[in-house]
Amino acid sequence: MLNRSGTFALAIASVIVPGALVFGQEQTFTAHPSTQEPNRLVTLETLKKWETELSNWGRWGKDDQRGLLNLVTPEKTKQALALVKEAKTVTLQINPFKKTGIDTGGFGENVHRMARIDPETGAVRGALDIIQLSIHDGLNSHLDALCHYQGPIGRKPGEPAVSYNGFPFTLTAAGCRESATDRMGPGYITRAVLVDMPLLKKVKWLEPSTPIYVEDLEAWEKLAGIRIGAGDALLIRSGRWAKRAAEGPWAYGQGGAGLHASVLPWLRARDVSLLGSDAVNDVQPSGVKGINRPIHQITQVNMGLPIADNVYLEDAAREAERLNRWEFMFTLHIYQIQGGTASPFNGLATF
């Protein structure tokens, strides 16, 4: 269970983060011991089997590049519209600017500046902006394109790489040729379900490397009186932003709470259209020898399930708890970045 304690060390899944210091020493993250229990253990062989068993390739035709977003039908959108009772809207996006820490800057800078500045005086010449986003950065809420990962797992030398629906994985300086953000549709309105794990566990946040299992998701369904289903946006709060606000940044990408790989068949059975969390979705370390983000791998390449990382869920969690209602209308716009491996995530929750 989530509150299980222990310091059992697993050499196969321990991560030392260079420069991450705790009381002057390097910070070490170790896979939660429960991930190695026989009834939970997921191996590379298991994942290779799931590449076929959980696949949605061909489900919407050989040319499909939207994946499970196809389940956001007009009927699903109408269902979402009916959830608006108070007409209260909150953002699901974190602002990446003017924040520093070990959890940002790994892939480039997030920059906002004026476009026309006098080189001699520094005076601004006009109200014109330049914005640069490192989209996959740890402080950017972003939606991964289905070409962000490639398969198959354990690909042999010379074996061609593929992305979702069997398209050849072709990446150039201009981005992905197939399964990029501009192939995922303009945007969607659907029903979202917020799973608040700290509220379920009666803690302020889940500690780093805490795995979330199927029984945790189903315990939340029972507590909230709700069922996660086809076409839903499933948003999982681990409390990452609450912990950051209280204790400061840490290398959450190496030691963060999130879904365990054993949840993958459940996700496939429930047919959710989008998966998001306030961290990287995968528990870190994953506890699966040989791969550290199996949730990313199988959802994107095989299931065609888009993933949103670093979603800001604090405001939505407070509003949902106040109303005692954890379903709401979810609005998403996808930036049409040609060849993009991700889109800025500017989701909205309307209660």
Residues 33, 286: Cα–Cα separation, whole Å: 11
Grouping H, G, I as helix, E, B as strand and the rest as coil, residue 35 is: helix
E strands in the chain: 14-22, 25-30, 89-91, 111-114, 129-132, 142-144, 171-172, 175-176, 187-196, 211-212, 233-237, 258-259, 274-277, 307-309, 327-333, 342-344, 348-350
pLDDT tens-digit map of 325-337: 999 999 999 999 9
pLDDT tens-digit map of 21-43: 333 345 789 999 999 999 999 99
- pLDDT value for 26: 54
Residues 212, 281: Cα–Cα separation, whole Å: 10
- pLDDT value for 106: 85
DSSP 158: T
pLDDT tens-digit map of 66-75: 999 999 999 9
pLDDT tens-digit map of 189-244: 999 999 999 999 999 999 999 999 999 999 999 999 999 999 999 999 999 999 99
Residues 267, 315: Cα–Cα separation, whole Å: 25
DSSP 351: -
Grouping H, G, I as helix, E, B as strand and the rest as coil, residue 98 is: coil
pLDDT tens-digit map of 151-180: 999 999 999 999 999 999 999 999 999 999
Residues 207, 246: Cα–Cα separation, whole Å: 13
Query: Which of the four pLDDT bands, split at 50, 70 and 90, describes residue 264?
Result: very high
Which residues does 227 contact at the CB level (< 8 Å), separation at least 6?
Answer: 221
Q: Is the bond preceding residue 152 a cis peptide, omega within 30 degrees?
A: yes
Secondary structure (DSSP) of 290-342: T-S-HHHHIIIIII---EEES---HHHHHHHHHHT--EEEEEEE----TT-SE
Domains of the chain and any CATH numbers:
38-97+135-350 (3.50.30.50)
Do residues 255 and 208 lie in contact, with contact meaning Cβ atoms separated by under 8 Å? yes
Query: Which of the four pLDDT bands, split at 50, 70 and 90, describes residue 15?
Result: very low
How confident is the prediction for the chain on average, in pLDDT? 92
pLDDT > 90: percent of the chain: 88
Residues 318, 97: Cα–Cα separation, whole Å: 24
